[in-house]
Amino acid sequence: ELKVEQNPLFLSMQEGKNYTIYCNYSTTSDRLYWYRQDPGKSLESLFVLLSNGAVKQEGRLMASLDTKARLSTLHITAAVHDLSATYFCAGDDKIIFGKGTRLHILP
Amino acid sequence: DAGVTQSPTHLIKTRGQHVTLRCSPISGHKSVSWYQQVLGQGPQFIFQYYEKEERGRGNFPDRFSARQFPNYSSELNVNALLLGDSALYLCASSLGWGQGETQYFGPGTRLLVL
């Protein structure tokens, strides 16, 4: 069964800085998803990555997929406080989720 | 257009009871999935239905069951509730199944088992 590991699990960063969240998965997965969850809220879909080398960008967030390395990254550029949330990656048809990265951006 | 809706929003039950959670997908979406999210953890896949047929099942005991109706709404049933069933139950809908479609999540039902 697919296992998904994210790191770091907790991240506190300053506004204006860049950082990357890593998502490793254990077996072949045809697709990789990134979600955002605000405290007490449901999940918001950010990106769906469907093929090796796929790169998608929305605002200050950019996600990429390397199926050979079984690695996806979520890069945050010039972080702003509004990006504080928990970010999940997930893979496989059954959408197996990682434990999430709790991101806190300090003003 | 309305998003995914779930009812009830909150629920308190006691051990051994039964619970039914309901989900209405976005209009035109034919796939519904259910997830359990325990506090501080990522969501865990329970079931996926597409065109009223079960297409996937996660590692949950037989106390958990679900179905999808002709209008594509869905119910999740949990029998013989345990304290460990306390969680946020999320429903997600998508247009299709198995092609990497975006899943849209509902607000969830918070279940507390005492």
C-beta separation of A92 from A98 below 8 A: no
The sign of the torsion formed by the CA atoms of B64, B69, B74, B80 equals negative
Using DSSP's 3-state secondary structure scheme, residue A77 falls into: coil
Q: Which residue of B has its CA nearest to A95?
A: B45
Percent of chain B with pLDDT over 90: 86
Q: Which residue of B has its CA nearest to A98?
A: B42
pLDDT reading at B1 higher than 70: no
Sorted by where each starts, the structural domains of chain B and their CATH numbers stand as: 5-113 (2.60.40.10)
CB nearest A96 (choices: B45, B98, B106): B45
Q: Cβ separation of B105 and A43 shorter than 8 Å? A: yes
Sorted by where each starts, the structural domains of chain A and their CATH numbers stand as: 4-106 (2.60.40.10)
pLDDT, residue A96, reads: 85
CB nearest B43 (choices: A41, A50, A97): A97
Residues B91, B100: Cα–Cα separation, whole Å:
17
Residues B27, A75: Cα–Cα separation, whole Å:
33
Residues A57, A68: Cα–Cα separation, whole Å:
21
pLDDT confidence bin for B102, thresholds 50/70/90? confident
Kindly report the three-state secondary structure assignment for every residue of chain B.
CCCCEEECCEEEECCCCCEEEEEECCCCCCEEEEEEECCCCCCEEEEEEECCEEEEECCCCCCEEEEECCCCCEEEEECCCCHHHCEEEEEEEECCCCCCCCCEECCCEEEEEC
CA distances from B35 to A84, B1, B59, B82, B110 (A): 23, 23, 11, 17, 12
Residues B28, B31: Cα–Cα separation, whole Å:
9
CB nearest A42 (choices: B48, B56, B107): B107
Nearest to residue A72, comparing CAs of A93, A97, A43, A94? Answer: A97
- How confident is the model over B26-65, as pLDDT tens digits? 999 999 999 999 988 999 999 999 999 999 899 999 999 9
Q: Cβ separation of A88 and B42 shorter than 8 Å? A: yes
Which chain A residues have a beta carbon less than 8 Å from that of B34?
none
A99 near B CB under 8 A: yes
Which chain A residues have a beta carbon less than 8 Å from that of B41?
99-100
- How confident is the model over A26-46, as pLDDT tens digits? 877 778 999 999 988 899 999
The whole-angstrom distance between A53's CA and the closest CA on chain B is 16
A97 near B CB under 8 A: yes
pLDDT, residue B40, reads: 87
Q: Which of A10, A42, A52 to mutate to test the interface with B (most CBs of B within 10 A)?
A: A42
C-beta separation of A63 from A72 below 8 A: yes
The position carrying tokens 């009871």 is B17
- How confident is the model over A63-97, as pLDDT tens digits? 999 988 999 999 999 999 999 999 999 987 667 89
Which chain B residues have a beta carbon less than 8 Å from that of A45?
102-105
Q: Which residue has the higher pLDDT, B25 or B1?
A: B25
Q: What is the mean pLDDT of residues B69-88?
A: 97
